[in-house]
Structure 1
Amino acid sequence: MFFLPSLLISLAFIRATTAATAADWRSRSIYQLITDRYALPAGADPTACKTQDQTWCGGTWNTIRENLDYIQNAGFTAIWISPVNQNYQGPRTAYGDPYHGYWIQDASQLNSHFGTSDDLKNLSAEVHRRNMYLMVDVVVNNVMSTSINPDYSQYMFKNKSQYHTYCPVVWGDRQSEMNCWLGDTVVPLPDLNTQDAQVQAQYGDWIKNLVQEYSIDGLRIDAAKHVNSNFWGPFCSSAGVFCMGEVFGDDISLAAQYTAPGTLDSILNYPIYDALVEAFQIPGPTNTSGLALVHDAMKNGLSDVTVLGNFLENQDLPRWHNLSVDPQSLYNAMVFNFMSDGIPIVYYGQEQLFSGGTDPLNREPLWPSGYQNTTAYQIITTLNKFRNYMIRSSPDWLMSPSEVISTSPAGISLLKGNVVSVMTTIGSPPQNISMGVYTPFARGTALTDILSCTQLVIGSNQTVAVDYALGGHPSVLIPSQLMNGSGLCGYSANVSTNAQGKNVNHNGASAITPQYSSAFIAFFALLFGLVSLSL
């Protein structure tokens, strides 16, 4: 018989090597961070990091591991970290140092600024111990140089023939966007020839080894639209895990091309991002009808919108609070991303109302915030807790397509399963108006707003009215009888009844349980005498 420690080691190994699929990631929520800017080692000077200096500030894989409570306590079930591979090593450039991780030099090596191989493995192990997933950013399209005639021997791909010939990108020309070099002549980004069979094979081996070595659960792929779309199917198959690509822009037909069978599992939802800005930015056009049109076009144009990455900020965009002066606009837009189809993503500092502009000002250090329990952090925590509860108690909820049920200049409302979300564009000042929303619920049904813990009742025409006498707050409404087990608004967090009338145990904070084979579970149970098998 095995000793218990040996068995537990085997169990951990099976978890670490189990591929995380799109179906697994659908139920996750992601906290995105830049490794250099998330947390400092003990004893480091917390005032030394100046964002505008574009240089190293001291964050490491160890400091992420030591500060995961802040992320997990907000209900997130995955983290996305910046690229882990070796970056440019040389004199400081006109654009600063590669603290962000996107200036790849030798992808076969790790970035020593962030720690050792063991440090990255320890971070991965701790993430998995908390039943969270690890997503790693990878750069495949290009490497980095300070000349249009680089020394190719410094890269993982060492032959000039493995790169496209230098040319500046002509935007709008798809062949140019895929084959020419990003960057500029100051910091050019030599473009890999991903149409070449040898490059494809070497990249396949590289990503397979990286994922397995560090037990990575998912990939975020930088500049994915600058690579031919048919490259991604074999690449992601070699990785064996969920692939979410960056396809920058609001072109839905291009988004569909990169999420077609044999390409990427998912992309970042840039079309919805642009529409959210148009709808909720203050001051702004409050174009909720445009948001509804994009929402429906994405649902009709892509094969699976439930795995798209919904975001409001990232390292390439101005902070929301830089675009919109009213924090209520952020809270309402966040509700849309959490309560519609897709995987919610929060960029570090969004919960602290950071207001940096374009790169590099949107890459601030997080520690000056003191990791405060802000209103935004509290709303995110509640949204995560509620979404995790819905996933546990109603297994079909994630796959229930969200529907726009009303739009007006004052706001927009969504229905997803038994959840009605009402978002407004009016901002913080109190308004003597209310928004009436038609629902599928019967007259007299009591609803709980999980954000304010107030109760509303369905009227005679199956509508519910949300009042804005206290300002433009978002509302997430669910029949009160379904709240038991949520742990919100005074309801129990232990047991509830799901839609099929079966009791569901809600002990523990995690939304997802790792999936092991039935044979292994049976073996494990038999070993400890928990079940008997008839042979």
Structure 2
Amino acid sequence: MGFDAIWISPIVKNIEGDTAKGEAYHGYWTEDINSLNDHFGSADDLKSLVTALHDRKMYLMLDVVVNHFVANPSSDSTSLPQSFDYSALKPFSDASDYHSECFISNYDNQTEVEGCWLGDTELPLLDVNTENTEIVSAFNDWVAKVVSDYDIDAIRIDTVKHVRKDFWPDFVKASGVFSIGEVLQGDPQYVKDYTEVMDNVLDYPSWYPLIRAFTNTSGSLSELASTYTTTQSAFKNGLFTAGSFLENHDQARFQSHTTDSGLVANAVAWPFVNDGIPILYYGQEQGYQGGEDPENREALWFSGYEQDKPLYMQVKALNAARKLAISKNSDFTSTASKFIDQPSDNVLALSKPPLLTLLTNAGSSGSAEWTIPSSAGLFTGGETVVDLMTCKTFTVDSSGELKASANNGQPRVIIPTSQLDGSGCQTPDSASVDGAFGVRTSVGVMMSAVVGLTFLVL
């Protein structure tokens, strides 16, 4: 599909056997950070994966968890504090290595968010005492060793807002690679503070209105545009290295909300055409429709890895369009995208030269029309532009104004035909994905696309 990187689950040893919430198949219930999860494979297997990726000029992003470990309560009591056998937890094997047991009841109380526990009395997530300097040093040494031992290119950090902010700069520095954090919150003003302590974060502020915008034909596209614009300004380094996504392992699949092909196609396009690093959660390209966790963590091999499904071909074409744009504009990944005002509430126009993306929530039974005025300064009179999703061409009028339309509520990703270098347009089923890869920089890896092969259900 043309991705430059793979993001995989945490690789550390997890709690074994049955729990009140099932088995720890996913990697996020740590028992021992100094041992590998042998259900995923051996140290040699991981090294082989990294070598195979690097041979293909691709990168590996590793998920890491600092906030919590997991142990079954040693009794069925629901009264707090509960009892635990801490001896299996490595290297933090004492009750004093964890915050006192309390569960978060008020997410507006940052003291609770950072000091109390996730989970519940059936399966508590034991909150690590990250104020302890010995624990801080142990974590910093651990992440440095993991990155070095396995030649990891980037880290995705879980549950970032549940650890004090001043913990993160030294941890990120110790890793020595690009870092992106999960701050599960929709307020750009809340999330922005975490962009001061790591390279960037997942763009949750834009994700919430993205889901609302395309779940049905009455969603607010203006809310998506206004929130996105606010977030662009709020984050320390803008959204250029933020993670842009539609689905992930913590949220219900988008197609559990709607299976309308027009709405789905527009929502899928969004992460590939804005400023952020595009992230695709495995199975999204296969049309998976699972609801809340664990239904959203289906095994990929049941799909048969089919490569002729509409979403697979759309993603391939979107990656090719992005690579083409990068090759034509050396400033593409550092130029902020801008919305062009439209007369209709059910359309969006997003300019990130040389691409112009036209989105709509009209749905598969609807049609959409866009007007790009000459004042936008994107085109010259009489030039021809092409939709890279369908190869349909449009002609700009003599004044420099472009009028475009779409049937069946499909998105359009437009570029001047002059940018095709005579190679012509390729439809999604044959789109080339050769072209620019992410480049190594002083802070680690800046990835032009990240595919989320996050969960291996064994």
Give me the TM-score of the superposition, normalised by structure 1.
0.76
Decide which of 208, 226, 232 is 1:299's aligned counterpart.
232
Q: Which residue of 1 aligns with 2:202?
A: 268
1:369 to 299, 303, 306: 303
SS at match of 2:339: strand
- The partner residue of 2:8 within 72, 78, 81 is 81
3-state DSSP of counterpart to 1:109: strand
**Alignment partner for residue 416 of structure 1, among 337, 349, 352?**
352
What are the Cα deviations for residues 114-135 of structure 1, in whole angstroms up to 9, with x where unaligned? 1111011101110111110101
Consecutive unaligned residues of structure 2, counting only runs of 5 or more, are: 74-81, 443-458
SS of 1:363's partner is coil
The size of the alignment, in residue pairs, is 423
Cα distance in 2 for partners of 1:308, 1:157 equals 32
Post-superposition offset of 1:462: 2.8
Aligned to 1:478, what secondary structure does the other structure show?
strand
Q: How far 1:162 sits from its partner (Å)?
A: 1.9
In the other structure, the counterpart of 2:456 is none
Query: What is the one-letter code of the residue matched to 1:81?
Result: I
Q: Among 311, 314, 320, which residue is 2:245 paired with? A: 311
Q: 2:36 corresponds to which residue? A: 110
Q: Identify the match of residue 185 of structure 1 among 103, 117, 121.
A: 121
Within a 5 Å distance, the mapping from 1:106-505 to structure 2 comes to: 106-147=32-73, 148-155=82-89, 156-170=91-105, 171-260=107-196, 263-282=197-216, 285-304=218-237, 305-372=239-306, 373-407=308-342, 408-431=344-367, 434-438=369-373, 439-440=376-377, 441-468=379-406, 470-484=407-421, 488-489=425-426
Q: Secondary structure at the match of 1:247?
A: coil
CA distance in 2, matches of 1:253, 1:196: 29
Displacement of 1:287: 0.3
- Write the distance in 2 (CA, Å) between the matches of 1:97 and 1:513: 36
Q: CA 1:486/1:511 → structure 2, altered by over 3 Å: closer, same or farther?
A: farther
TM-fit CA distance, 1:515: 5.5
List gaps (5 residues or longer) in structure 1: 1-73, 494-505, 518-535
Secondary structure in structure 2 of the residue aligned to 1:398: helix
CA contact (8 A) 2:328 2:354 kept: no
Root-mean-square deviation over aligned CA pairs:
2.0
Q: Which amino acid aligns with 1:484?
A: D
Residue 512, structure 1, aligned to residue 437, structure 2: yes
Equivalent position SS for 1:203: helix
Cα separation, partners in 2 of 1:184 and 1:516, compared to 1, 3 Å: closer
SS of aligned partner of 2:68: coil
SS at match of 1:380: helix
Question: Which of structures 1 and 2 has the larger relative contact order (alpha carbons within 8 angstroms, sep 6+)?
Answer: 2
1:93: how far off? Answer: 1.1
Matching residue's letter, 1:455? T
CA contact (8 A) 2:67 2:127 kept: yes
Maintained 8 Å contact 1:146/1:185? no
Distance 1:487 1:121 in 2: 40
More strand by share: 2
Q: Is the 8 A contact 1:286 1:409 kept in 2?
A: no
Shift of 1:330: 1.9
Preserved CA contact (<8 Å) 2:329 2:354: no
Residues 327 and 435 in structure 2, CA contact (< 8 A), matched pair in contact too: no
> Aligned partner of 2:421: which letter?
N
Query: Which protein is bigger by CA-based radius of gyration?
Result: 1
What is the CA-CA distance between 1:159 and the residue it aligns to? 2.6
Answer whether contact 2:349 2:370 (CA < 8 A) is retained: no
Deviation of 1:447 (Å): 0.5
Offset at 1:417? Answer: 1.9
Is the CA contact 2:201–2:242 (under 8 Å) kept in the aligned structure 1? yes
Secondary structure of the structure 2 residue equivalent to 1:290 = helix
- Distance (whole Å) between structure 1 residues aligned to residue 18 and residue 438 of structure 2: 46
Aligned residues of 2:389 and 2:412 also touching (Cα < 8 A): yes
**For residue 453 of structure 2, what is the aligned residue in structure 1?**
none
Cα distance change on mapping 1:193 and 1:487 into 2, 3 Å: farther
State how far apart, in whole Å, the 1-side matches of 2:69 and 2:425 are.
48
2: CA distance, partners of 1:199 / 1:516? 30
User: Which amino acid letter does the alignment assign opposite residue 323 of structure 2?
Assistant: N
Q: Secondary structure in 2 aligned to 1:114?
A: coil
SS at 2:315 equivalent: helix
The residue aligned with 2:446 is none
Q: 1:92 to 1:302 in 2, by over 3 A?
A: same
